[in-house]
A and B are shown apart, each in its own frame.
Chain A
Amino acid sequence: MLPAGIFYVVFFAIPMLCLLVLSFWRAKGFELIPDFTLDNYHKIFTSPLYRALMLRTIGVAFTTALIVVPVAFAISYVMRFVFERRGQLILQIILLSLFSGYLVRIYAWRTILGKQGLLNSTLQWLGIIEQPLEFLIYSNIAVVITLSGLLLPLAVLPLYSAMLNVSRDYIEAARDLGAGKLHTLRTVLVPMVIPGLRTAFAFAFLLSAGDFVTPALVGGSQSMLIGNIVADQFRGIGSNWPLGAGMAFVVVAVMLLAYLTVMRLIRWITRW
């Protein structure tokens, strides 16, 4: 535990502490002024722009998680209980996508979703549509689709791992005692894979909420997320590091709150 603890302190706790201290400083011209001011936080909480972007970010992240987690759950279920012998092979195939770079995958989605992309061209060729579906690219939908594609393999990993620890006997016992498929799923399987679900949701929700590259590349002119605003505060002339640091902390707090709320909701549903 000690090496892990040292790693955690050096590479997470200390940088976060520095960022926290910075969030109380001021930027003046090209200089950072050590201070203890709440101005940055006041601005963050009173700005309609930041509030709107925070809500949009939660919406996009939550939608992404709502797509990714059930799909990852279904894939994991199939790998574990339907094609049990081929489970590892399917997992390797899913993980193959992680071998390509993050940017490569985003540009691949742009190629698929673009006006003259694979999807629109195919639909036009099949005669299903006459004009390209413009909402497929440079929109919130494009961001959600791309993020879902990027994060699905990461969500499958913890869920499949959790399901490997669930004996088929439990499922069969529940069915023998008269539980329907959905009832078995809700009262037996889901409670047993809660740790995996929690991790899968965390991957999907938190990584989506913090992403600023995907919205920048496929989000278009109306899909900026809070991560883009935070990034803007740390680059170029007119940047404001203390404000950016404050924003980063508020984002972490809001996303953590949203995450804990959803976790509590899942727990409540499985006990109901």
Chain B
Amino acid sequence: MDERLKIFLDAKLNADVSRRRFLQGAAGLSTLTVLGAGTHAFAADGKLGGELNFLGWDGEHGGNVAKPFLEANNIKMNASFQSAADEALTRLNTGGRGSMDILTPNKDFQAAILNAGTELFQPLDLSRIPTAAGLFPAFKDAPWLVRDGKTYGIPIIWGNEPCVYNPKKWDAMPPKYTDFADPKFKGELVLLDDPFGNIWLWATSLEMPEPSRLTAAQLQQVLDAMLKVKPNVVTVGASHGDMADVLVRGDASIGVGGWAYQVMIAKEKGVDLVVGSPSVDGTFYWSDSYAIAVDAPNIDNAYGFIDFMTKPESNAALAAELASGCTVEAAYDLMPENIRSMFPYDNVRKPGGGILGTQTVVPPQEPDGDVVGAPAWVEAWQTFKAS
């Protein structure tokens, strides 16, 4: 079977932001082993063993990376994978309370949950995760993880969503996303099916004061700007994998809101792609964290797991396997150069979250005064797609 096809068969549909699904088919990518990482561990106030329930993005359970730790401590991991950011919350509200231990929320979802005061995560006892001291400055006390002095997550990977394009057709990306309305881009663009990412990019391009907090009029302005680009859009990719397929087949030459890893995959198929976002507008950053669910039944195993996965060797292995940025400073040197060079690490060497801390992509879930809520963004995106 065609290797490309195999990858996409594994990438299930309808993942909202689907870096992880792309990786399902890229099995065997892990290039690092966790040699040197101590595998036998004890929680501060309890012995490990028994079960550990994981609900998060595919791959972030560390199927390969966590294996030595799980085996050494006789822990059976029950991993299930989410296809949408809010799936853990849905499970919690539909009888799943007390059945989840480890969750892997993304930055903006976790911030939204914490801001809304919605019950889902429990505050972490950092004394039980000593390895967290090794995080990059941006990930220590990151603003999206801390509320009322309590920390609710340990970042595990991060990255950004740049443009990925064919250098045979384009020397560089235009300075702004709104420039993609130029007719010279007709039949050349593929976007990701991500309402928040796309609307945020165009709101940034229109120099909205707060791109994630738009009034109805501003949202309409953004939609109008996006609709000017629509004639140039070939298709909206269901996932990052689908986007890559469109680019590799030559059906489009620019992927907006792409992923650096698509370059590597395309190279394997003999197609040259490069990364380069609009110089003025830039792009947005994401990060996923390990969090512990409220009423987690296996709390000691959960702490032991997070502590193990935050060791430099584990973090580097996981980040390499998921083709993402590592979050532990000492893991940087352990990363393969081809993956390490994909991400601008200067951003995470700054304290206070760096650009990840100041940048919010997802809008408020509910209207806030004149500011519209997330459902309005979804509807605007649907209007864009249907037009």
Contact = CB atoms under 8 A, between A and B. Distances in A.
A103 B85 contact: no
B76 interface: no
Contacts of B84: 235-236, 239
B9 interface: yes
A216 B378 CA distance: 16
B281 interface: no
A134 B116 CA distance: 47
Interface stretch (A172-180, A190-198, A201-209, A217-225): A217-225
A216 B365 CA distance: 26
A101 B261 CA distance: 27
A49 B365 contact: no
B249 A115 contact: yes
A220 B189 CA distance: 11
Contact of A239 (B86, B234, B250): B86
Contacts of B127: none
Interface string A111-148: 00011110000000000000000100110000000000
A221 B86 contact: no
A32 interface: yes
Nearest to B232: A221
B382 interface: yes
B234 A232 contact: no
B196 interface: yes
A237 B235 contact: no
A138 B234 contact: yes
B93 A32 contact: yes
Contacts of B193: 216
A216 B196 contact: no
Contacts of B31: none
A115 B250 contact: yes
Contact of A231 (B14, B89, B236): B14
B272 interface: no
B234 A220 contact: yes
A28 interface: yes
A101 B9 contact: yes
Nearest to A117: B249
Contacts of B9: 101, 103-104, 107
Nearest to B194: A236
B211 to A, nearest CB: 16
A146 to B, nearest CB: 13
A80 interface: no
Given A224-B385, A239-B86, A213 B13 contact: yes
B387 A222 contact: yes
Contact of A114 (B5, B86, B233, B251): B251
Contact of B365 (A29, A32, A114, A224): A29
Contact of A49 (B16, B251, B386): B386
A116 B249 contact: yes
A65 to B, nearest CB: 22
A217 B234 contact: no
A116 B251 CA distance: 7
Nearest to B386: A224
Interface in A230-256: 231-232, 235-240
Nearest to B15: A235
Contacts of A103: 8-9, 13
A55 B346 CA distance: 51
Contacts of B250: 114-116
Contacts of B382: 49, 224, 229, 232
Interface in B1-15: 5, 8-9, 13-14
A238 B249 contact: no
B26 to A, nearest CB: 17
B65 interface: no
Contacts of A32: 93
Contacts of B375: 27, 238, 240
Interface string B273-295: 00000000000000000000000
B187 interface: yes
A30 interface: yes
A168 to B, nearest CB: 44
Interface string B1-39: 000010011000110110000000000000000000000
A110 B195 contact: no
Given A49-B386, A217-B242, A235-B83, A30 B118 contact: yes
B35 to A, nearest CB: 38
A28 B195 CA distance: 19
B383 interface: yes
Contacts of A107: 5, 8-9, 245
Contact of B86 (A30, A104, A117, A229): A30
Contacts of A115: 249-251
B249 A29 contact: no
Contacts of B112: 30, 237
Interface of B: 5, 8-9, 13-14, 16-17, 83-86, 89, 93, 108-109, 112-113, 116, 118, 187, 193, 195-196, 230, 233-236, 238, 242, 245, 249-251, 362-363, 365-366, 373-375, 377-379, 382-383, 385-387
13 contacts: A110-B245, A110-B249, A114-B249, A134-B187, A138-B234, A216-B13, A217-B238, A221-B385, A222-B387, A224-B386, A236-B16, A236-B86, A238-B196
Given A103-B9, A117-B249, A224-B382, 9 more contacts: A29-B365, A103-B13, A107-B9, A134-B187, A222-B230, A222-B387, A232-B382, A237-B362, A238-B363
